[in-house]
Amino acid sequence: MDGARPALGSSAERLRHLYRFMAIRHFVAGRSELKRAGFSATWIDSWLRTGRLIRLFRSVYAYGREVETRASVWRGALLVAGPDSALTGRTGCEAWGMVRPRPGLPVEVEVGSPTGQAKRLRGWSPALARTTVKVVKRNFEPDGVRIRDGLQLATPPLALIDFAAGASERQVRFAFLEACRLKLLSRRDLNFCFTRLAGRRGAKKLRPLLSLWVPELGRIKSVLEGWFLLTWREHGHPMPEINARIHGYEVDVFWPSSGIVLELDGGAFHGDPVQRRLDRQKQRDLEARGLTVVRITYRQFEYDPPGNVARVARSIEHARLKLSVK
């Protein structure tokens, strides 16, 4: 509805126009965009007095009630940060699905902006009393920003680079592997990341992961599968098949030449009795067909990644020796 001037009619008609305008913007809008769309300063001030609009930040308003969703807070943060801003860092990674959001409304929203200086802005409404918008100076290239669900986001590689600056190695690895699982990182992105990481905080955490990237990471269905592949490749082993179908079953990792199947069990394996029964039946069927099934839980792998990789490598070598004797 940008550029569409509301009809100068009754108060009810104006409110209907306002509702439609706000509804496609996560019910958050800035004063300047409201005025560009034809809503007069008089109307806006009147709606603020009556509570139809609620101040979230300076010249940024919610419609009718306090914000209740992360997307609404994110849009407000983008507006208060200024034109051509984009969500980046942890916030950008959350918006892309690479990082799990914390419960409730965000306490901090990280926004990259090409204008002004780095700053921190506090929310004005009661719901945002604990929310800070962290604005960092970023000059985004034309292909450095994408629109998703009506919000401007730094591309996954840029968001990940900013996230790595303040996150732990474990958090960076998780975000990187989620990006792989969601197919947000391509081979082309690797060179881009290596170039942009030069001299940046977080490079020591992210660069080793980028160096271990292989196309098979695009087939993983869990972070545990990706973590195993990274460790497996780090130790110089050739890549296996990922999530392959064997005798009617999908298996996590498979080495056809040795007949070894690796099943990587997350929390669901231990907490869901039905899943445990299905996995036991699957293992019996595969072993009845001459395959060897190795199982590793998340806790086991987390405790000793290199040791578990060595365990699988020994199983493969043992199976090959048995096949050679036959």
**104 & 196 share domain:** yes
Residue at a domain's end among 213, 245, 267 = 213
HSE of 185, CA atoms in CB hemisphere, 13 A: 32
Domain assignment present for residue 5? The answer is no
Please check whether residue 260 is in contact with residue 319, taking contact to mean a CB–CB distance below 8 angstroms: yes
Low-confidence ranges of the chain (pLDDT < 50): 1-3, 6
Same domain? 180 vs 86: yes
Please check whether residues 74 and 203 belong to one and the same domain.
Answer: yes
Does the residue 6 lie in any domain?
no
The count of structural domains within the chain is: 3
Q: Give the domain-ending residue among 213, 232, 266.
A: 213
Domain boundary among 181, 213, 245: 213
What CATH number does residue 291 fall under? 3.40.960.10
Are the C-beta atoms of 157 and 196 separated by less than 8 Å? yes
Q: What is the pLDDT of residue 1?
A: 43
| pTM of the predicted structure, to 2 decimals | 0.90
Shared domain check, 320 and 235: yes
DSSP secondary structure string, 1-30? -TT-PPPS--HHHHHHHHHHHHHTTTTEEE
- pLDDT tens per residue across span 209-224: 999 999 999 999 999 9
Q: Is residue 242 part of a domain?
A: yes
Dist. CA 185–CA 106, nearest whole Å: 25
Q: What angle do CA 167, 169, 171 make, to 5 degrees?
A: 55
Q: How many CB atoms lie within 10 A of CB 84?
A: 15
Is residue 245, in this structure, part of any structural domain at all? yes
Instruction: State residue 109's pLDDT score.
Output: 98
- What local confidence, expressed as pLDDT, does residue 196 receive? 84
Residues 228 and 283 in one domain: yes
Is there a contact between 279 and 262 (Cβ–Cβ < 8 Å)?
A: no
What pLDDT score does 326 carry?
Answer: 58
> φ and ψ at 126, to 5 degrees?
-55, -40
- Let me know whether 59 and 76 are in one domain: no
Nearest to 229 by CA among 280, 183, 264: 264
Predicted pLDDT at 201: 87
CB 19 within 8 A of CB 63: yes
Same domain, 170 and 47: no
- Mean of per-residue pLDDT scores for the chain: 91
Stated as kind and residue range, the H or E segment containing 244 is strand 241-246
pLDDT for 14: 86
Q: 209 with 92, same domain?
A: yes
- Asked whether residue 119 falls in the same domain as residue 52, the answer is no
Give a yes or no: residue 4 inside a domain: no
For 43, the domain range is: 11-63
